[in-house]
Structure 1
Amino acid sequence: MEIAMLRDVIEDDLSIFFEHQMDTISNFMAAFTAKDPSDKIAFKAHWEKILNNETIIKKTVIYNGNVVGHVLSFEQFGEREVSYWIGREYWGKGIATEALSQFLDSIIIRPLYARAAKDNIASIRVLEKCGFEIKGEDKGYSNSRAEEVEEYILKLSQ
């Protein structure tokens, strides 16, 4: 298996991230997504804020020479969280686990939190393989599902 690599996000990555965001199945699984994934102006504004915020750690995931997703760490609800997005065509190859593992090795901030829709078994599994444990539950409105969705709150202590 090729190994996923991380590098800093660059402007050229954004068009690929936008394509990933347009995938209906990915949006359903992620649950908590943009109101309108096809709104390129909102997408660009969102990523401009991310790129200009030095407190957000942002990495592009490269696999086999291709940009396949991203991993982020940011402040939310008073805690440091991580999130990731891998393009659906790359699911099931261990890329998310490898990328998140590398990302976690590169940052020393602990504890870290993550959130995943309760029915997003694959994402929960990735997080657990990387040492996260389910510590709580929450729910929120999902734009992609047009309903309230239950989620797990996971924590990485070490």
Structure 2
Amino acid sequence: MPADSPDLVRGLRLRPVRHDHVPCLFRLECTEACARMAGIKPRAREVFFAKWDAIFADPAVTPRVIELPLPHGPEIVGAINIFQRDAKDYVGYMIFPEHWGKGAASFAVSEILKEDLRRPLYASALRSNVASIRVLEKHGFRLIGSRFEAETERFLAGEVCDFVLDPPTINLEHAMAILDRTPRVLASLLRGLPPEWTHRNYGPGTWCAYDVVGHFILNEQLDWLPRFRRLLQHGESRPFDPFPHDATIRPDSGRSLESLLDEFAALRS
């Protein structure tokens, strides 16, 4: 395979699958090299299109095409989905052969993992599909086993490797160190600066430094502390109340930035 192409990867983007993408996705599945690499047998056209009708109606599926913008219009390089199978979340992808080895699969996996945070996330690849195994391992998937699958109406015979991407683990000591330092870092950066620096944003929908500190205060008062109390009282049996992520104390509140910094430090102490 050719070396990764930085120019290709920089131009790629993920887009939600539309109905008019489905014929191209059918062509992708029917590409002999793709089907062989994935260990599948292409479905009949009517079966394929019926399956996609079900996918469009299923909120548990995150279907994306991998697009390359071109002057004459976007080209579909491949597709990637997160879907459910046997009550587990899986990721699967397929790339047109002319784009193999150019970083498209790695880009797509990286982007969809940022977009869809479901974990643990599972994946499978034929033992012979070395490129896909490398992509999965590069993005933190670990091998949990292998099995030989006999040929079926849908799948080719072959050895299948199973992978999982585990939920992130939190080092409590490290997290506490960051939480403890945050008020002091903010005070060191912002205390004594003129309002021209701390009270001005970049336009509608953006925040200034004052807004950020105000948000930290409300988050501490209305989100973190209530959640901690609920966990102590009820364990994991009751869901958390939603917190508005645009909540903040605005500069027109009449309070000084210094008073906000002091309050945030007191809340974290």
TM-score by length of 1: 0.89
Contact 1:56–1:75 at 8 Å: present in 2 too? yes
2:47 maps to 1:42: yes
Residue 78 (structure 1) shift = 2.4
Q: Report the 3-state secondary structure (helix = DSSP H, G, I; strand = E; otherwise coil) of the residue aligned with 1:153.
A: strand
Distance across 1 between alignment mates of 2:43 and 2:84? 26
Residue 145 (structure 1) shift = 9.6
Distance across 2 between alignment mates of 1:44 and 1:66? 21
**AA paired with 1:131?**
G
The structure with the largest strand share of the pair is 1
Residue 38 (structure 1) shift = 6.2
Alignment equivalent of 1:14, drawn from 22, 25, 29: 22
Gaps of 5+ in 1: none
Q: How does 1:8-157 map to 2 (within 5 A)?
A: 8-31=16-39, 33-34=40-41, 37=42, 39-64=44-69, 65-142=74-151, 147-157=156-166
Change (3 A) 1:8 1:145: closer
Q: Report the 3-state secondary structure (helix = DSSP H, G, I; strand = E; otherwise coil) of the residue aligned with 1:92.
A: coil
Gaps of 5+ in 2: 1-6, 169-269
The structure with the largest helix share of the pair is 2
Residue by residue, what CA displacement relative to the aligned partner does 1:17-47 show, whole Å, maximum 9, x if unpaired? Answer: 111111111111100x24xx26211111111
Identity of aligned residues (%): 31
TM-score by length of 2: 0.54
Residue 77 (structure 1) shift = 2.2
Q: Report the 3-state secondary structure (helix = DSSP H, G, I; strand = E; otherwise coil) of the residue aligned with 2:80.
A: strand
Residue 142 (structure 1) shift = 4.2
Q: Report the 3-state secondary structure (helix = DSSP H, G, I; strand = E; otherwise coil) of the residue aligned with 2:54.
A: helix
- Which fold has the larger relative contact order, with Cα–Cα distance below 8 Å and residues 6 or more apart in sequence? 1
2:229 corresponds in structure 1 to none
**AA paired with 2:124?**
R
Residue 110 (structure 1) shift = 0.8
**AA paired with 2:115?**
S
Q: Could you say which structure has the larger radius of gyration? A: 2
Aligned length: 155
Residue by residue, what CA displacement relative to the aligned partner does 1:66-92 show, whole Å, maximum 9, x if unpaired? Answer: 111111111112211110111111111
